[in-house]
Amino acid sequence: MLCAILTSLPGIAQRSVLDSVPSLETVRSRLELTPQQEAQLRPIFQKRLSELQQSQLLLQRSSTPQQKDDVLRDEQRASAAFNSLVESVLTPSQKTEWREMRSAVREKIEERNE
């Protein structure tokens, strides 16, 4: 799925990359974040969006399959780290809802890329 997001056509890829992470406003509303949680998550979300944009650029500039694989592998690690950081701020019930949100986003992206 990540490969499909990052390797889409440039205009679509930009939208797909940004759509792969729910907005903090959406998360705040759906998970009923406290102001403290929101303050903790804001820089995490900003960093993640920046990482996704950078990964997309690196992937577009990759000229060999190995370079693309390296970018995608790094992106997988960054995604796992992001999710761990987000979950470390959430309550158990919020974690469950967060996982459901992530699953729904993945499904939408897969449908769009079919």
Closest CA to 106 of 39, 45, 21: 21
pLDDT level of residue 18 (50, 70, 90 thresholds):
low
Q: How far is CA 104 from CA 70, 80, 109, 111, in A?
A: 27, 17, 9, 11
The arithmetic mean of pLDDT across residues 34-47, rounded, is 96
Q: What is the pLDDT of residue 42?
A: 96
Distance CA 21, CA 38 (A): 15
- pTM of this structure: 0.78
